[in-house]
A and B are shown apart, each in its own frame.
Chain A
C-alpha cells in the first residue's frame, strides 16, 4: 500500500522573467510505514516537492499532475477538505522549527490546541485532563526532560533542538499518517542532529508512520531512510532502496555525490569532485540535465533527455542503462 502516489507532477513558478518549471513530471510512490529520503542540492526542487504535497506553495506557483493520498487526489480536494488532511493526515516539520510555533503562546497550550483539533476532527469530546496527560506522554516520548516544565514555557525559552522535539511531539499528537520533514536537522548541531534523527527513526518504526525526509545531505538520508529519491534540477535521477543506492549507485550524479563525500585525509589523495555547478532553471542544458557535469556523457546525452529505465528494482534516468 502506498501512502502517497505522485503522478506526472510538475510545479511552475512565475517570475519577472517568465515561467520556470522547477519540478518536471515527477512520478513517485511513497510506501506506507517506510521512510523515503528526498535528496537534492539547493535548487533541485526538493523543498518545492514537500510544499506541493501539503499544498502550501506560494501563490506564484502553478501545479500540474496528481498527488494521491490514500486514493484521494490532493490537487482536486476542496480547500476545506485539504485543511483537514493537513495536520492529522499529512504533517510537515519545517527546517526552522520556530516558524511552526506561535511565539506568544505557551508550548503546553499549543500542544493542547493540536489535540483539540484532532478530537474535533474525529468527533470525540475534548477532556482537558486526558489531553494534558497525553501531551505530557508525547513530550517524554520525544525525550524532553521535565515535560511539565516544557509545557509551561514559551518557544523562545527553549533551544533549537528542544523546539524541534516539541514540533515532533505536536506531530505525534495529531497522529498523522504521513510526516514530511523538510531539512529538520540542518539548523542543529551534530550531536543534536543525531538525537533528532534517531528519535524520528524510532518513532517512525514504533508508530508505523510514513516519513518523507527532505535533505541535502546524503549521509543524513542514509541514516534515516529505507528508500531514496535523488533530485537534480527538478528531475528524479535515481529512485529505489537507500542501501542499494549507497552500495551501488546507478546514476553518475549519485556516484559523484557519494565519491565527493570527504573521508580520510588529504594526504591520501584528492577528493573526487563533480565539475561545474548545478544549472539554473532558466538555462537548463539541452538533453540530460546532468550532461554538462557528467563524466560519462556522450553525444546522445546532449541531444535528448533520457527516460526512466528500470534497473535491478530501481529507477534511473540515464542512457547508460538503455539496453536497446
Chain B
C-alpha cells in the first residue's frame, strides 16, 4: 500500500476504487480472423483510475465525451464489470458473490429520462419496480413517500405513463425510483443535461435537499463545470481515460493546477458580457491508440519531451492531487 492509499483508506468512504480499468473490444474478432493472426484491439476507456467517494458527500466527475466518466459511473453502479481493479463498497469488495448485496446499496439515474423509464408502464409501476419483496400495501405507501420527496403528487401522477410527463418530471420520477430502493450510494449520470435551464436548477436543488435529508452519497457525472462546482464537495477531472486532477471542489476551482483543467475552465461560457473564450486547440485523442506519455500532451501548451515519453503520476500538490510533470519535484 502506498502512503496515498493508506491515507485514503483511513477516511470514511462509501466507495473506493483502486486501479480501476475498463477496456472495450474495438471490433468483433471472429474465429477466422483470429486464425489469420488478427490481433484484438481495445478502446482503453478507463485506464488505471483510483477514486474515493466520501460518505454522505457529493463527488463530481467531470470530463468531455470519451473521457471515460460514464464508464466509471456504470462500473461503480455494477452495470459494467471492470477489466481489472478492485472496488470496495464500505466493507464489501465487489465480486460475483457480493454483487446482489452491493446492488441493494447502489442506484443510478441516467442522463436521458426518456430512455430510462419504460414507456409502457405507469408511474406507480415504474417507481415500485425496485420494491421486489415488499407487500403491496406497503409498496403504495413507499411510492407515495418517494414521489412526495421529489416534489410530485402521487394522486396526480401514479396512473400516468412516462411519455405524458415533461423532461423535468421524468427525471424526478427516475430519482424517486432510485430512492425507492433505499440505496446508500447513487450514481447520477448527467441527470440535468437534457433539461431546460429553468428546470435544471429545480432538479439540482432537489438533489442537494435529498442528500441532506437521507444522507446519500452521490457520484455526480457531468460535462458542465459550473454544475459540478455547484453540486459537489470533491471533484475528479478526467481526460482520455485518466484522472488528471482531483481535490476539494473549492480548491480545484480556485486554484486549478493541471493545464487541462485550466483550459477547460476558460472554455466555459460565462454570463459576462464582452468576455471572450480562450479555447484550447485540438481534439481529444482516440482511445484505441492514445498518445504516449501524458495523454494531454498533443494539446498542452506547456508540453515538454518528458510529457511525450513518461506518464505523469497523480501526486499531491498544494492541497490537491494532479497528474502533470509541471509539478514534479
Contacts and interface: CB of A to CB of B under 8 A. Distances in A.
A45 to B, nearest CB: 14
Interface in B241-296: 249-250, 263-264, 266-281, 283-284
Interface in A272-289: 272-274, 277-278
Given A261-B197, A273-B201, A266 B267 contact: no
Interface string A15-51: 0000000000000000000000000011000000000
B226 A263 contact: yes
B230 interface: yes
A258 interface: yes
B279 A191 contact: yes
Interface in A149-208: 159, 161-162, 189-195, 197-198, 201
A246 B269 contact: no
Given A262-B229, A262-B230, A277-B168, A246 B197 contact: no
A218 B168 CA distance: 19
Nearest to B194: A42
Contact of B201 (A189, A193, A218, A262): A262
B198 A41 contact: yes
Contacts of B169: 277
Given A41-B196, A216-B197, A265-B250, A194 B269 contact: yes
Contacts of A42: 167, 196
Contacts of B196: 41-42, 216, 278
A242 interface: yes
Nearest to B281: A195
A270 B205 contact: yes
Nearest to B265: A190
Contacts of A41: 196-198
Contacts, number: 134
Interface in B49-84: 64-65
A218 B198 contact: no
A261 to B, nearest CB: 6
B86 interface: no
A257 B267 CA distance: 21
Contacts of A223: 269-270, 275-277
B198 to A, nearest CB: 4
A190 B264 contact: yes
Interface in B170-211: 196-202, 204-205, 208
A260 interface: yes
B64 A190 contact: yes
Interface in A223-277: 223, 242-243, 246-247, 256-258, 260-266, 270-274, 277
Interface string B212-256: 000000000001111101111000000000000000011000000
A198 B201 contact: no
A191 B264 contact: yes
Interface residues of B, number: 47
Contact of A266 (B166, B199, B200, B230): B230
A246 B271 CA distance: 7
Nearest to B199: A277
Nearest to A268: B230
A222 B272 CA distance: 7
A273 B151 CA distance: 14
A219 B273 CA distance: 9
Given A216-B197, A277-B199, A278-B196, A222 B273 contact: yes
Contacts of A5: none
A264 B276 contact: no
B230 A263 contact: yes
A194 B273 contact: no
Contacts of B168: 277
A198 B279 contact: yes
A189 B197 CA distance: 18
Nearest to A263: B226
B273 A242 contact: yes
Given A191-B280, A271-B230, A260 B198 contact: yes
A222 B197 contact: no
A141 interface: no
A220 interface: yes
A271 B250 contact: no
A262 B168 CA distance: 17
A217 interface: yes
B200 A246 contact: no
A220 B224 CA distance: 13
Given A197-B277, A223-B275, A272 B267 contact: no
Contact of B198 (A191, A195, A220, A278): A278
A271 B275 CA distance: 23
The 8 residue pairs across chains A and B that have the minimum distance between CB atoms? A243-B273, A194-B279, A194-B267, A260-B201, A262-B230, A273-B201, A189-B64, A41-B196
17 contacts: A41-B197, A162-B283, A189-B64, A189-B65, A189-B223, A194-B266, A194-B268, A194-B278, A216-B196, A216-B197, A222-B272, A223-B276, A257-B197, A263-B226, A271-B201, A271-B230, A277-B169
Interface of B: 64-65, 166-169, 196-202, 204-205, 208, 223-227, 229-232, 249-250, 263-264, 266-281, 283-284
Given A194-B268, A223-B270, 9 more contacts: A189-B64, A192-B64, A194-B277, A197-B279, A242-B273, A261-B201, A271-B230, A273-B201, A273-B202
